[in-house]
Structure 1
Amino acid sequence: MRRRDVGTDIVNPRLTPLGWVGLVAVVVFGCLPTYWLVATALMPREEVFAPNRSFLPRAISLESFRTFSGNAELMQNLLNSVIVSSLTAILSVVVSILAAYSLSKFRYRGRGALMVLLLSGQLFPGALLLISLYLLLNTVGLLYTYTGLVLAFTTFTLPLTVFLLKGFFDALPDEILEAARLDGASNLAVLRRIALPLVAPGIATAGLFGFMRGWNDLLFALTLGGQDKRTLPAGLVQTFIYQGAADWPALMAASIVTSLPIVVTFVILQRFLVSGLSAGAVKG
């Protein structure tokens, strides 16, 4: 009997014309909110609120962007977001590396309970713990400070980043680490010289999650940041949303500016993220 080549059985999928129509419709539907955001930000104010507003802008105006950049309070909120998000990403990565490496490569009493405790942190919504966190930060004198915000954001980021990095450390062969220890390297040296370069995609992903947690949060920033330390999402709400109304053109322009750092960060770290996903797929 003639042996069949497995590779020849793989069929190259091709979309039918109806499939292409459906795919294009889904893409257009997904991109429509982004287009409406950009179009509203670039339209003149009188056109945005006109009863017969057109789908395509009749004229382009940067008035809404000038409204955002000319607001000194929003510029301070932007600086607060950069500081808090960067520190949250750094602290999340440092703590996650140590915790994930410990949970992955060491065996000790209470290890399983610690993993369950970390996972249980994902079971409670942040709003449920907000009052307790507010009272705790107020008691220790960290309310309305950068430190308080960073600790609050990091607390709710760690369960995800720890288990993300633990998966990367689990994929490292123990033989490589043991060989380094036999050569006289300490546990810290093994982690720094051997393990960390091999899990760089996971570190980049964890840092991105930490940065996004600090950048996008509204509830904690609005409650724990106060007037001076609140971040940009809280500043946008208090500046452009009024009782029963909203300054939509300025809010849309500010939303575009707010989204840019996340997009730029993702583009910079994209090759690490893709290589991490590829390594995970091959490993599986």
Structure 2
Amino acid sequence: MTLETDLPTAAPIAPVADTAGTGVQDASRRTRRPSKPNALRSERPGVRFAAWAAVIVCGGFALLPVYWLLATSLTPRTEVFAYPPQFFPSTVSWEAYESLFTNPTLFNYLRNSIIVSVITAVLSVLVSAYMGYAFSKFRYTGRRALMYFVLSSQMFPQALLLVTLYSVFAAYGLLNTYTALVLSFTTFTLPLCVWMLKGFFDTIPDELIEAARVDGASRLRIIHSIVLPLSAPGLVAAGLFAFVRGWNDFIFALTLAGPDKQTLPPGLVNTYIGEASTAWPELMAASLVVSLPVAIAFISLQRFLVGGLTAGAVKG
């Protein structure tokens, strides 16, 4: 007996000729998924306008002080206090920059800033690298408590420690020296550098370190040949943070260092700000020039800085 069914039979898929002359293709292979619309194109015009308006407002808020520095430095001293203030200087004067580059005292301040900032960055990176590696890869009693104790030092205002540090440095004869500035700056940069590098070391697999131990590498060899090269972005970020801390400090450089060892921030104030008057064009020109090294460092090391700051933020 033969059973008949009312279900229709599926029609065979007809082959589709290949227009390029390479053969016959299946129609199912030519089926493509519909492309997703571009997210920017699918947004409403009002949303795009609001986004661009926010970018312009934030950019103007950030760049307006820089422009005002430039405009004031190019304005003659007789027109600085003109009312109403002029957004564009009517007369461009280069006298402020000429006096800046012909003042030998400012070059002395610049040399002091470079020496103190570079030594602070190197010392902070060296110490924080070993501390961060110990916190990340070693397990011992009191490890977590010690980590939070190091971080808790950031809770105290740094100005409160100025009197204590001044007394200690005076007792050991370290006032008016580079050593006093480097030690004080390193003290304040270490906690954040340690936690920054600790988060970066957490991203390095423990299996890589165990494999090096199996091959006979010592702990120092593992740190210097494996861990530190892989942690270059974190080291650059920590070093840049310490460098900026030493470059921008004012109160410690003014108090702990004498006129011969002072850095740029207090040096500029003592040079251009007086009791009776202030040389605003010269001060603005000097402030703009001394900001260029830090800006260039940030721009050139931007990818290392972002990688070092975001390392360890997401655990996979």
Q: For 1:1-284, what aligned pairs fall within 5 Å after superposition?
A: 11-12=39-40, 14=43, 15-243=47-275, 245-276=277-308
Deviation of the 1:177 alpha carbon: 0.4
Partners of 1:23 and 1:149 lie apart in 2 by 39
Following the alignment from structure 2 to structure 1, what is the Cα–Cα distance between the partners of residues 208 and 114?
38
Measured in 2, the distance between the counterparts of 1:96 and 1:103 equals: 10
Deviations 1:202-238 (A, max 9, x none): 0000000010010000010000111111100010111
AA of the residue aligned to 1:42 = L
Matches of 2:36 and 2:162, distance apart in 1: 58
- Which 10-residue stretch deviates more, 189-198 or 262-271? 262-271
- Aligned residue type for 2:285: A
3-state secondary structure, aligned to 1:243: coil
In the TM superposition, what is the alpha-carbon distance from 1:79 to its structure 2 partner? 0.4
Task: Flag structure 1 segments of 5+ consecutive residues without an equivalent.
Answer: none
Inter-partner Cα distance in structure 1 for 2:96 and 2:145:
52
Read off the aligned partner of 1:161 and give its amino acid letter. Answer: C
* Kept in 1: contact 2:75–2:89 (CA 8 A): yes
SS at match of 2:72: helix
1:244 offset after TM fit, Å?
Answer: 5.7
For structure 2, the 5+ residue unaligned runs are: 1-32
Question: Which one is further off, 18-27 or 120-129?
Answer: 18-27
Equivalent residues of 2:234, 2:307 under 8 A apart? no
> 1:268, CA displacement in angstroms?
2.4
How far off is 1:17 after superposition? 2.8
User: Structure 1 residue 9: deviation in Å?
Assistant: 9.4
Tell me the SS of whatever aligns to 2:259. Answer: helix
The 3 A distance-change label for structure 1 pair 179 and 154 is same
CA contact (8 A) 2:131 2:194 kept: yes
Alpha-carbon shift at residue 281 of structure 1 (Å): 6.8
- The separation in 1 between residues aligned to 2:50 and 2:146, in whole angstroms, is 52
Q: Report the more deviating stretch, 192-201 or 27-36.
A: 27-36
2:106–2:264 contact (8 Å) kept in structure 1: yes
TM superposition shift of 1:149: 0.6
Higher relative contact order (CA 8 A, sep 6+): 1
- Pick the structure with greater CA Rg: 2
Provide the alpha-carbon RMSD of the alignment.
Answer: 2.2
Percent identity of paired positions between Structure 1 and Structure 2: 54
CA-CA distance at 1:52 after TM superposition: 4.4
Question: C-alpha distance in 2, partners of 1:213/1:90?
Answer: 13
Using the size of structure 1 for normalisation, the TM-score is 0.91
Q: CA shift at 1:27, angstroms? A: 2.1
